[in-house]
Amino acid sequence: MATEAAEVIASGQAVLGIELGSTRIKASLIGPDFTPLADGSHEWQNEYVDGRWTYPLKAVWSGLQACYADLAANAEREHGVRPASFRAIGVSAMMHGYLAFDERGELLVPFRTWRNTSTGPAAAELTEALGFNVPLRWSIAHLYQAVLDGEEHVQRLASLETLAVHVHRRLTGRFVAGVGDASGMFPIDPATGDYDQGKLETAERLVGRRAPGLSLRGLLPEVLPAGAQAGELTAEGAALLDPRGELRPGIPFCPPEGDAGTGMVATNAVAPRTGNVSVGTSVFAMVVLEQPLAAIHPEIDVVTTPAGDPVAMVHCNNGASELAAWAGVFTRFAETIGAGADGDTVYRALLDEALAGDADGGGLLAYNYLSGEPVAGLEEGRPLVVRTPDSSFTLANLMRTQLYAVFATLALGMRVLDGEGVRVDRLVGHGGIFRTAGVAQRLLAAALEVPVAVERTAGEGGSWGMALLAAYLEAAPEQSLAEFLGARVFRGDAQSVVDPDPADVAGFTAFLERFTAGLDIERAAAGALQTSEKGQA
């Protein structure tokens, strides 16, 4: 097998997927059977500068180079060969946000990420005018807020990009977006697979009143579905990704996608009545719709799969970061007493301990809000643990409530979909939190009252899903994306499925009632405790 993998890599027949997540840039190299051959990663963090969450562009490129170098080194270590070419490449990144460039390609303002919640007036006005929910983090909301605020750079704006679009453009020279990523920039018409023309005209008029001469359509990238040819790696792009000069140009690219789309692909959740929950710095659920929603809901985004099918998305800005912070505290405690347990060991132990807690968390209340949370109506967040004098303050209950907090805001949004009559047969959990068997899966099933499955690839991440989209380039002429995934990638894969436990459901329901009632505590804390400009991720 090692010899076979080496031959695949040496002959340029492996496929590369790269994803720029919130805390880690990861690359996955897969073979013809879609199993991972090598991976690479680079840790990074957003910065809180002048009241906004951002990443410097130099960190994007130094991080990508470090990630790719790690992948190449891993391939050499595992298989004795460094890659020089690939059958295909795909790039994905966290969706939404605002990357504004002038006609020379110069960044006009620091990257404004999805995590910023300062676009309330713009999002509200766009939602009313378009008759379509425009969330705070969408690219069009960021743009229109800049217009409303009279920001000087707007008049010099030549292109509006997401992070995936930007990286793809630098590597290939093509200004394009996968339809799933584009659906987080501006509403998509599922009939055409392009920006909704009527809504685009309405938005053009709104923007034009305050920024005459600014062509919204001219700012946005071309929209492409999964399987479309999206350019080739240029010589400049090859040198940018691999400064060692080993990587050859001419490699085909699939359309760049958002992390929501790669999560759907990695969990085989692209057909109606399928869905997935991705847990990372943010947490979101994607449910592929059978029919349009009957009403506009501020808690629900309507985006698309990478193939262009409509999806109801419940996106929560805050995910597992606070849980990870607690794990870091206990890892350090283990070090101070000489226990020597590594972070992964501590993390697994804490998750296992959560199952020993009371079903309702013993009366404890936890909030994981490091930033604002639109689903809960909060412009700013403050992580909190609150308890009454008669609560049961144990390690098990502390960790159970931290896990409950990860899923609580998601549960609020999913209850809106329940009211719309949206049905899903099961949800597939995706992300590193599910690597500890059964724990997060069981509590998520209780929180959403739906069976939760975990694939054997649950911890592979979005870079693996992006590699699958790149591999789909060759199959696209003969198979739909759903057919490709079902018949070739996930065929015969065993899922671990957990049904909601009635006792856990009752316990989470009690916790969620406390969680909802205590939101005023969060508002008061945000008003009383100001953040520094440095901030924390």
Summarised one tens digit per residue, pLDDT across range 143-158 is 999 999 999 999 999 9
> CA–CA separation, 53 vs 112, rounded Å?
6
- Domain range list for the chain: 2-317+457-489, 321-422+501-528
Contacts of residue 148, Cβ cutoff 8 Å, sequence gap at least 6: 121, 122, 125, 210
Contacts of residue 336, Cβ cutoff 8 Å, sequence gap at least 6: none
Rg over alpha carbons for the chain, rounded to the nearest Å, is 22
- Provide the angle, in degrees to the nearest 10, between the axes of the packed helices 57-79 and 2-10: 130
Give the pLDDT of residue 493. 65
**Token pair for residue 343?**
């972070």
Kindly provide the residue ranges of all beta strands, DSSP E only, lying in 193-258, ordered along the sequence: 194-195, 222-224, 257-258
> CA–CA separation, 161 vs 181, rounded Å?
10
Give residue 482's identity as a one-letter amino acid code.
A
> CA–CA separation, 354 vs 350, rounded Å?
6
> CA–CA separation, 376 vs 416, rounded Å?
13
Give the pLDDT of residue 321. 93
Query: How many CB atoms lie under 10 A from the CB of residue 371?
Result: 26
Terminal CA-CA length for the chain: 41
Q: β-strand 15-20 against 222-224: which pairing, if any?
A: unpaired
> CA–CA separation, 274 vs 175, rounded Å?
31
**Token pair for residue 262?**
């790669």
Give the pLDDT of residue 432. 77
Fold adopted by 2-317+457-489: Nucleotidyltransferase; domain 5 (3.30.420)
Give the pLDDT of residue 534. 41
Residues in the chain where the model's pLDDT stays below 50: 1, 458, 533-537
Query: Is 183:241 a contact under the CB 8 Å cutoff?
Result: no
**Token pair for residue 175?**
């200004």
Give the pLDDT of residue 19. 97
What SS3 state is found at 211? coil
Burial letters 179-216, b for 16+ CB under 10 A, else e: bbbbbbbbbbbbeebbbbeebbebbeebbeeebeebeb
Task: Please state the separation of Cα 305 from the chain's center in Å.
Answer: 13
**Token pair for residue 430?**
């995706």
